[in-house]
Structure formats: structure tokens, C-alpha cells
Amino acid sequence: MDSAAAVQPGGQWAERAYEAIAPVYDDFTAHHDYELWLGNLLPKVRRHGLRGRRLLDVGCGTGKSFLPMLERGWEVTACDISPSMLELARAKVGDAARLSVADMRELPAFGEFDLVWALDDAVNYLLSGEELGEALSGMRANLAPGGLLMFDVNTLQAYRTFFAEVQHVERGGRRLVWRGQGSTDTPPGSISEARFEAEPGGAGVDVETHVHRQRHFPEAEVRELLKASGLECLDVYGHGFDAVPMQPVEELVHSKAVYIARRA
């Protein structure tokens, strides 16, 4: 396996990781409460004038992120780099959402949307400022006049804990294992890795052991990239496992930073 320090931007790290984890992704993330999370975040977006009900979900995975929006009556278009993740999403919603395979670094023009988001780890798999800038520019191009963008990045706290620990999840008669390869003193702006294994057992599909690579994006760098992409940063919130948005972001306390932006 390549060391984190030797990893270069480009390539299909995220696609390979999510194609491999797709059969057990919902089991591994069963504790993620999107209804709670979005219930806390949507009021923060509305205070900036959110109107309309057209959503573009970038990096939608198995659909867990946009299901609460369908239930709220939103018109949903969603994309992901992993065809296998999208197939799982399609099995859940059928024709209720428009689903497409797409790389956020080369995001197509899907239309004009009142809200564009990339939530729960999507942009963390971009391994350079250039790649994040490409994704931000693509998302900006899909905003309707007055539309809003929301996305999250992991903080140093996440990389110094989750990416430096071994986590076990027991589901469907098998053990899913996340083996963080990082350090408790991971420096800002660095790339972290974890190995994912699904131990034999149960009646599930075999899952290949694979690597997840993510990059830490400090707030100052994200703000610069937003500006360079023609976006105005409106708010930044930090939160922990309670999903309660707080300001300011504290890199060693909160696990995520959530950004809200619009066209400059």
C-alpha cells in the first residue's frame, strides 16, 4: 500500500473505495442519523434566504443523504462517482430521484438548483486544493440565481481519532473493521488513510479489503478556494457527534466543519 505521504492527487481513489465498500456501506453507517443532522442544518441554510425545492446532491452514496428531502417534497437530482453505490440508491427510490454517475471534479451541468450540497465525507476524498477548487466550481455552475451551496469537511479531530483508531461494527453476522493508519498528531493539510475489512461471516457479498484516503482542509484554505471559485462564504459551523452546529469551528473539538456559500 502506498504511504499517505506518497499519495498524489488525481486518480480514482474514491471510486475504488466506494465500489468496494458498497455492499456493506449501509450496515457500517447504520448509526448515521441524517434526519437529525439535516433537521439541524436546514434552518442554518434558510436564514440565508433558501427558496425553492430543487436539490442537487453531489456524492449521494446510497441515497441516505437525500431520502429526508424526498420526504419533504423536494425535487432531487443526485450523483456519485461509484456506480455500485448509485444502484443501491436507485433500489431505494426508483424513479423518485434523477440519479447519475459523475465525478465531482468534472461535474456536469445538471441544471439550476436552489440548494446544492456535498455532505458526509464527499469532498474529503479530494486530495488537493486544486481538486477541491474544481469541485466547488462545478457545484457553483449548478446553482440557480440565489441558490445556496452546503458542504462539510472533516476537522483535525476526525483525523486524529477516527483515522488513528480501529473501529468494529457487527452487522448481518459479520464484523466490519476500520483500521485507521493515521496519527494522533496528524498535521493540518495532510492526507490520512484507513484500511477497511469485512471479516467472513453471514450471508453477505464478499468485500475486498481496501484503502480510504482523505485530506484535511483547514478553514483558511477552504475560504480561499471558495473565493477563487466565485463563491462567497456565508457561514461556517462546527459540530460533533451530537450534530448541533456551533460557531466558531474548533478543529480539535468538533469532528466536522460545515460551509454555506453562494455565488459571489
Query: From 3.40.50.150, 3.90.1150.10, 3.40.50.720, 3.90.660.10, which CATH number describes the 13-155+219-263 domain?
Result: 3.40.50.150
**Which three cell numbers, joined as nine digits, stand for 133?**
477548487
The sign of the dihedral angle between the CA atoms of 221, 223, 225, 227 is: negative
**Which three cell numbers, joined as nine digits, stand for 231?**
463563491
**Which three cell numbers, joined as nine digits, stand for 182?**
493515521
Q: How much is the pLDDT for 230?
A: 98
DSSP string, 118-160: E-SSGGGG--SHHHHHHHHHHHHHTEEEEEEEEEEEE-HHHHH
Round the CA-based radius of gyration of the chain to a whole number and report it: 17
For helices 129-141 and 219-228, the axis angle rounded to 10 degrees is 50
Strands 143-154 and 166-171: unpaired
- Whether a cis peptide bond, with omega within 30° of 0, leads into 248 is yes
Phi, psi of 191 (to 5 degrees): -100, 135
The amino acid that residue 99 corresponds to is L
Q: 9: phi > 0 → left, psi -120 to 50 → alpha, else beta; which?
A: beta
All residues at 6 or more sequence positions from 39 whose CB lies less than 8 Å from its CB, including other chains: none
Q: How much is the pLDDT for 199?
A: 85
Burial class of residue 13 in the structure, from the number of CB atoms within 10 Å of its CB (0-12 exposed, 13-18 middle, 19+ buried): buried
CATH code 3.40.50.150 region(s) in the chain: 13-155+219-263
> CA 195, CA 210: separation in Å to the nearest integer?
6
pLDDT tens string for the chain (264 positions)? Answer: 333 444 566 679 999 999 999 999 999 999 999 999 999 999 999 999 999 999 999 999 999 999 999 999 999 999 999 999 999 999 999 999 999 999 999 999 999 999 999 999 999 999 999 999 999 999 999 999 999 999 999 999 999 999 999 999 998 788 999 999 999 999 999 999 999 999 876 656 789 999 999 999 999 999 999 999 999 999 999 999 899 999 999 999 999 999 999 999
Q: How much is the pLDDT for 52?
A: 96
Q: How much is the pLDDT for 171?
A: 86
Q: How much is the pLDDT for 163?
A: 98
Q: If you count them, how many residues does the chain have?
A: 264
> CA 80, CA 100: separation in Å to the nearest integer?
7
Q: How much is the pLDDT for 205?
A: 77
